[in-house]
Amino acid sequence: MTLRSPNLVAVLAAVVLGSFTLRVAADSASDTATLTKPDGSKVIFGITESNETTFAGVWYLGGVPADVTQFGHPTILLENDGSLSDIFGIVKQSVNGQVQFDIGFASDPFDLSSAESLFGISLTQPGLTFVKELPQGNDMTQYLLQADPANRSTLTFWSDGEAVPTPMAFPGALGLTMLVLARRRRAA
């Protein structure tokens, strides 16, 4: 089979389509916190890979009641190789001259000195909580202020949920190419 110019255009179009699909998948959610309310409804807070690399500060879960007694006791998530990944917990900040406590997280890469100040810690102090990132997410419910202990919300944090291109992204582009080539071959 000789590759004619229209077939070449179809192949190039499929490659471009496939690379676009892979690029879109690569900028999906990186870090996500999910608040599950007692009625089962969910509020999702998340950042994308591009957000994560352009802003090295702290992300806040606005409007979520924070247990201020947990300030200074964040959870520090570790990558599989043991390196620092994210810090999740209660953040102290000043808003219009008022001290405010919120639930927040610093995502990798983060400004270490700023994160330590906002979370009220020093990474060299004893007694910090270091945990491995779990594929099912890490339970962060202890940071919620629970009005009714019998009717509790839950909070789960997923770190580095980088999207792996879907198994159909490349085969889909390849299949489209093969379909176009087969139609052109029958037409010839």
Measured CA distances, 185 to 2, 131, 181 (Å): 10, 57, 6
- Looking at residue 187, its pLDDT comes to 55
pLDDT tier at 80, thresholds 50, 70, 90: confident
Bond before 171 cis per omega within 30 degrees:
no
Residue of 26 and 107 predicted with greater confidence: 107
Domain match, 128 and 188 both: no
Average pLDDT rounded to a whole number, residues 152-161: 86
Domain count, the chain: 2
- Given this model, what pLDDT does residue 154 score? 93
35 and 20 share a domain? no
Mean pLDDT of 23-28: 48
Asked whether residue 85 falls in the same domain as residue 157, the answer is yes
Q: Are residues 98 and 153 in the same domain?
A: yes
More confident residue, 115 or 9: 115
**Residue 146 sits in which domain range?**
30-161
Asked if 140 and 51 sit in the same domain, the reply is: yes
Between β-strands 75-78 and 29-36, what pairing exists: parallel, antiparallel or unpaired? Answer: unpaired
The pLDDT tens digits for 101-154 are: 999 988 876 677 778 888 999 888 888 889 998 888 999 999 999 877 777 999
Per-residue confidence (pLDDT) for residue 139, from 0 to 100: 94
Asked whether the predicted pLDDT for residue 45 surpasses 70, the reply is: yes
Say if residue 15 is in the same domain as residue 106.
no
